[in-house]
């Protein structure tokens, strides 16, 4: 009997985001089906570097230990992001913004410490996450990084990460990645970095998709466009929500048969596309393990259950699972 990881073993790694609860609770399903993991929150700045002179590697060390014991690869997420990074990092003792020089020094120290600790053991890092704006006519997303350092904060982050672990593949990671306007901005960013000789090796497509959006055509165009930059592609945070992003309905207690069928079709179409582009895509990660737990049950509507994965709330395969394992 095939599993996800055996079915796609010659194509790409199959990953799941784990957290400190799910890595133990869902261990059986995890080790049967997946050969890559990403920490959902535990390696983000606020958790791994909670105070000025204190790092907390307890969860990430544990994830690495579980990964190693089970022949699973570890993806690193994430070093430089506007979210989940504490305000003190950008301030001096008096609460004033630090200078560009100081923030670059702090960025370097953070990256050296975190990336250096796992040197040779993390196959890919999301070095910079979500730095491009969704707004038309605005290139970079406003953030403390941009405000204090300037536009080259991204280049610096990649240089520091490469120095700390020359073997890790370094990724820029973003969402709405197949939206044509945002796609062209991301393309321009990566193309420019490559031209400047910055060590960037990959583009991470988060793939927070739903039953209706985005279109297959937009996704395929994005895959082709990004690989024109000469980088490899990872699908980094895949989920297929039952709701359109602006659908705020809260009355659904469980997914209907039609929804499960539509989801199975979507997943089959997506994986056919990934397979068609297997020379470009080297890793496909879901942003969770099964419908038992998903961040989408809190986002964008707080407390509304969602069912975005291939396994149901009892960790059993859904129609989408069978459909994905029926494309070769």
CB–CB of 37/71 below 8 Å?
no
Q: Is the dihedral of CA 130, 133, 139, 140 positive or negative?
A: negative
Q: Which of 3, 23, 29, 40 forms a contact with ligand XIL (CB under 6 A)?
A: 40
- Closest approach, Cβ 40 to ligand XIL, in A, equals 5
Phi, psi of 116 (to 5 degrees): -60, -40
Minimum separation from the CB atom of position 199 to ligand XIL (A): 21
The distance of Cα 59 from the centroid of its chain, to the nearest Å, equals 18
59 binding ligand XIL? (CB under 6 A): no
Spatial separation of the C-alpha atoms in residues 124 and 57, rounded to whole Å: 18
* Residue facing ligand XIL at closest CB distance: 295
**x/- binding map, residues 165-204, to ligand XIL, per CB under 6 A?**
----------x-----------------------------
227 with 283: CB under 8 angstroms?
no
CB of 69 to ligand XIL, least distance (A): 24
Specify the 3-state DSSP secondary structure of 13. Answer: strand
CB nearer to ligand XIL: pick between 129 and 306: 129
| 212 or 295: CB nearest ligand XIL | 295
Smallest distance, ligand XIL to C-beta of residue 60, A: 14
Using CA atoms, how far apart are residues 20 and 10, in angstroms rounded to an integer?
30
Q: Does 70 bind ligand XIL (CB under 6 A)?
A: no
Report yes or no: 303 and 248 within 8 Å, Cβ to Cβ.
no
The 230-249 site mask, x for binding ligand XIL (CB under 6 A), equals -------x------------
Q: Let me know if 130 is a catalytic residue.
A: yes
Candidates 60, 206, 283, 315; binder of ligand XIL (CB under 6 A) is 206
Chain residues 113-132 in contact with ligand XIL, contact rule CB under 6 A: 129
Q: Which of 295, 301, 305, 327 binds ligand XIL (CB under 6 A)?
A: 295
Q: In the bound complex, what is the minimum distance in angstroms from residue 89's beta carbon to ligand XIL?
A: 17
Q: How far apart are CA 116 and CA 161, in angstroms?
A: 8
Q: Which of 31, 41, 108, 113 binds ligand XIL (CB under 6 A)?
A: 41
User: How buried is 25 (Cβ within 10 angstroms: 0-12 exposed, 13-18 middle, 19+ buried)?
Assistant: middle
Q: Alpha-carbon distance 293 to 129, whole Å?
A: 23
Q: Taking the complex as a whole, how short is the minimal distance between the CB of residue 173 and ligand XIL, in angstroms?
A: 6
Q: Which helix (H) or strand (E) holds 34?
A: none
Which distant-in-sequence residues (6+ apart) come within 8 Å of 72 by Cβ?
30, 31, 34, 35, 36, 37, 66
Please choose, from the candidates 181, 183, 298, the residue with its C-alpha nearest in 3D space to the C-alpha of residue 241.
298
Nearest distance in Å: CB 237, ligand XIL: 6
Burial of 279: CB neighbours in 10 Å, binned 0-12, 13-18, 19+: exposed
Selected catalytic residue, list 40, 42, 130, 177: 130
Check 40, 177, 232, 237 and give the catalytic one: 237
232 is catalytic: no
141 near ligand XIL, rule: CB under 6 A? no
**Interface residue list for ligand XIL (CB under 6 A):** 40-41, 129, 175, 206, 237, 295
Q: What are the residue numbers of the active site?
A: 130, 237
């Amino acid at each position: 009997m095939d599993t996800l990881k055996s079915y796609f073993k010659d194509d790409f790694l199959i990953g799941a985001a784990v957290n400190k609860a799910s890595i133990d609770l869902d261990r059986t399903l995890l080790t049967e089906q997946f050969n890559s993991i990403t920490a959902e929150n535990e390696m983000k700045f606020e958790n791994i570097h909670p105070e000025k002179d204190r790092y907390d590697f307890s969860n990430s060390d544990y994830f690495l230990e579980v990964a190693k014991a089970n022949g699973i690869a570890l993806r690193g997420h994430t070093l430089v992001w506007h979210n989940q990074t504490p305000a003190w990092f950008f301030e001096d003792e008096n609460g004033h913004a630090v200078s560009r020089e100081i923030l670059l020094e702090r960025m370097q120290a953070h990256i050296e410490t975190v990336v250096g600790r796992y040197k040779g053991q993390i196959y890919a890092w999301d070095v910079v996450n979500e730095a491009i704006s969704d707004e038309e006519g605005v290139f970079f997303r406003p953030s403390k990084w941009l405000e204090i350092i300037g536009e080259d904060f991204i280049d610096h982050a990649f240089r520091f990460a490469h120095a700390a672990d020359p073997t890790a593949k370094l990724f820029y990671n973003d969402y709405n990645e197949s939206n044509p306007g945002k796609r062209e901005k991301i393309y321009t960013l990566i193309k420019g970095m490559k031209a400047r000789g910055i060590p960037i090796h990959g583009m991470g497509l988060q793939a927070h998709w739903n039953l209706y959006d985005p279109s297959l055509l937009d996704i395929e165009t994005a895959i082709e466009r990004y690989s024109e930059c000469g980088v490899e592609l990872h699908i980094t945070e895949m989920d297929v929500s039952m709701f359109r992003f602006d659908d705020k309905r809260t009355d659904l207690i469980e997914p209907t048969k039609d929804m499960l069928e539509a989801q199975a079709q979507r997943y089959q179409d997506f994986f056919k596309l990934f397979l068609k582009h297997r020379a470009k895509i080297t890793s496909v990660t879901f942003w969770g393990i099964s419908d038992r737990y998903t961040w989408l049950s809190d986002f964008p509507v707080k407390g509304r259950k969602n069912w975005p994965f291939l396994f149901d709330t009892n960790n059993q395969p859904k129609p989408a699972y069978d459909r994905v394992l029926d494309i070769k």
